[in-house]
Chain A
Amino acid sequence: MKRLGYHRTTASFCLFLALPVALFVTFYIYPIISTLCLSLYDWDGISPKGTFIGLRNYFTLFGQARFYHALLNNLQWLFFLIFIPTALGLALAAMLDRGMRGESFFRVVFFLPFTIPAVAVAAIWRWMYEPTHGLVTSFLEVIGLASWAQNWLGDPKIVNYALMGAMLWWTTGFAFLVFFAGLRNLPIECIEAARLEGANAWQIFWRVSFPLLWPSTIVVLGMASIDAMRLFDIVWATTSGGPAYASEVLATQMYDVAFGRLEMGRASAISVCLFVISGAFIMPYIRYLSNQVQENAS
């Protein structure tokens, strides 16, 4: 009877897991394997069949300066997203955690940009960065800093920094929200104890609050790493990777090579490289989360 009950329970689990597993295999595992296979072919995406060429797509890719340039851009984005929006989000959360007036209003203001779709953000900043009459240039002129105005999206040397500025505005809200929630959930006794022992505001933050915020920090850093490697929408919608590849990242290069140049095999090779590189950065985060889940379960 017990064995029958066990089989029924197992059967129930299998039945309900069947659909999510099927979806996971169909929309996640199968495309990865399919892309890996496609990267070994020369195919334009239009003809019914491609030609098997082995690893030639990879050899071509590793010989192209364009590939390394895009990779370098991704790494710059990784550095930027890990430190800058994270630090700014933490600073804003710490500021608001003091219980200042208008806290609800500022919470909305800081988080609101994050709710805007990427293409709308790109359209807004494309307008703001117009080098002659855009809002950024006009503002600098009004405050007497006209000499600081730049060709924001048209100068290959600064276009990435301009895009990072847009990204900072857009994504800081997420870090702010996570840190704010984290700060509000800190055990008040630790902070009271530190205060009683004579710690000042900075010491309390740096030695008590910040270490206790580790779970929030790891979430923000993990998401930042993922965002940096999968970056596509804001770059494509603003500059399409230009001018002349200056702002290109691996995802936009993959899109351009696949659909702009009809080289699906080479684009798949870029995709595989991106997958491997992203895995190297993101796997530690995934492992940490898995360990946390296991620890909590035990």
Chain B
Amino acid sequence: MGLRVKIKSIWEESFMKSAALRWLGATLGLFVSTNVALADRSPEVWHYFAAGSELAAINGLMEYSNKIHADTPVIGRAIPGNVVELRRQLQTAFLGGNPPAVYQSAMGYELKTFVDGGRLRPIDDVWAAAKGEEIFPKGVQRVVKVGGKLWGIPVDISIINNIFYNKAIFEKYGIEPPRDWAQLVAACKKLRDNGIEPLGDASGPFWSLYNFYAPLLASAGKDGYYAIAQGKVSFKGPEFRKALETYRDTLVVNYAKNWSGKTWTQTADDVINGHTGMFMMGVWVSAYFKEHGWQPGKDFDFFPAPGTDNSVLIQMDVFAEPAGPDKTVATARNFMTAAASVEGQVAFNVPKGALAPNLKVDPSIYDYTGQRTLQQLKNAETSDSVLPNLFFLLPTKLGTELGVQIEKFAIDPSAGTEESVMETLEALRLELAEQNAFVKW
């Protein structure tokens, strides 16, 4: 009996040892193979162009880049969501010491945050080789430069101050594209009198804010717009109050019923099906209309929002290079050179339906919408009135809060809400001014 117990315990001991060794071996093997797999991966371009025409755009650009730089290929990684989700992924990547070779960034303060954190490589050499000073508009150059150095290659521009409209409805009720606030209000009244919701808007912290820029520009002017971006203008001051009141009296009162419960694509659908007459949205809505069988110039058209006249307000995507491992530098440089080139910008913007920031791109690549918005951009460039999206000129938390507060005002434009909006924004402005957070763009 004693011998059986002894044999059993020796067997158990050796079994335990071998089990432990097998477990250890499996863990080590997994660790090593994972690292080998990671090391073998091609350098990546991170972006949030996850679907539709945007995905086609980034794929087109990568294909071009990989064709001319076959020795330094890149692969794309789509991060579903928007700039917030991409930031989250980047934070993790930086902490792990494994950022992508290149990533899609917003402009302005978004770049500055990463520059201040020491997370980006300057690309002055890429910029110089691409002759960036010559090919990109001044307004664009302003927001990729931080501390005198250049940090991003602009890849697309979307103009966000145009009002798109259903041509059939306008023709049916004899409405001409408005040129000023009074004409816009009159057009809205005519639409509403005929049972059509005048003006669409959509939920979220961006769309109402983009609509608000037109009244803001009308109230503060171009210099005032930049002064707000630099934190010099009080949100309780007369310019901002006037902008809010103009916004309320011309746009908010004419918003479609229940707009705040819709996404921007649902509102675009309302324009297509004739439920809503107009929609002030970025030019990407043109691509959406086209996807749904509409033709620009025939089924829909657009006009600049009153108050923006000879200016354009732009939203822009750039590619930036993280300060990552040296082995990805050549790949990143090659990709960004390709992205700045005429061919690269064509490969990207034709599918996307946006404008190429490179002004050397042949205008014949654009459709009706592209041709007209390009003309708007060039006209604005002559008077240095290409104005970047204020959301990305302000410190990040102020830009985000501005979007939320404007949406709150658009939902409830009462005097109480107006005061509350101004108080909230002003308190945050003062807090950030104390921290020296604003930038002189």
Assess whether A242 is in contact with B203, with CB atoms less than 8 Å apart: yes
| With A243-B407, A260-B84, A261-B400: A46-B203 Cβ-Cβ less than 8 Å | no
B20 interface residue per 8 A CB criterion: yes
Cross-chain contact of B258 among A4, A15, A131 (Cβ < 8 A):
A131
Cross-chain contact of A155 among B114, B204, B261, B263 (Cβ < 8 A):
B261
Instruction: Name the residue on A nearest B261 (C-beta).
Output: A154
Assess whether A44 is in contact with B266, with CB atoms less than 8 Å apart: no
| With A132-B258, A243-B407, A260-B84: A8-B397 Cβ-Cβ less than 8 Å | no
Alpha-carbon gap, A88 to B404, bound state (A) = 36
- Determine how close the nearest CB of chain A comes to the CB of B381; give it in whole angstroms: 32
- Determine how close the nearest CB of chain A comes to the CB of B199; give it in whole angstroms: 15
Assess whether A46 is in contact with B119, with CB atoms less than 8 Å apart: yes
Secondary structure call for the B interface? helix
Across-interface contacts of A239 in B (CB, < 8 A): 203
- Determine how close the nearest CB of chain B comes to the CB of A85; give it in whole angstroms: 24
Instruction: Count residues of B near A (Cβ-Cβ below 8 Å).
Output: 41
Assess whether B9 is in contact with A8, with CB atoms less than 8 Å apart: yes
Instruction: Count residues of A near B (Cβ-Cβ below 8 Å).
Output: 37
Across-interface contacts of A272 in B (CB, < 8 A): none
- Determine how close the nearest CB of chain B comes to the CB of A160; give it in whole angstroms: 14
Across-interface contacts of B259 in A (CB, < 8 A): 154
Assess whether A152 is in contact with B9, with CB atoms less than 8 Å apart: no
Assess whether B117 is in contact with A46, with CB atoms less than 8 Å apart: yes
Across-interface contacts of B113 in A (CB, < 8 A): 44, 46, 262
Assess whether A46 is in contact with B91, with CB atoms less than 8 Å apart: yes
Across-interface contacts of A256 in B (CB, < 8 A): 84, 400
B172 interface residue per 8 A CB criterion: no
Interface residues of A in 144-185 (CB under 8 A from B): 151-156
| With A12-B16, A243-B411: A47-B258 Cβ-Cβ less than 8 Å | no
Cross-chain contact of B261 among A4, A5, A131, A261 (Cβ < 8 A):
A131
B408 interface residue per 8 A CB criterion: yes
| With A46-B94, A242-B407: A259-B117 Cβ-Cβ less than 8 Å | no
Q: Which 9 A-B pairs have the closest CB atoms?
A: A154-B261, A154-B260, A46-B117, A131-B258, A244-B408, A47-B117, A261-B397, A151-B258, A131-B261
Residues of chain B touching chain A, judged by Cβ–Cβ distance below 8 Å, are 9, 12-13, 16, 20, 23, 84-85, 87-88, 90-91, 94, 113-114, 116-119, 203-205, 257-263, 266, 269-270, 275, 396-397, 400, 404-405, 407-408, 411
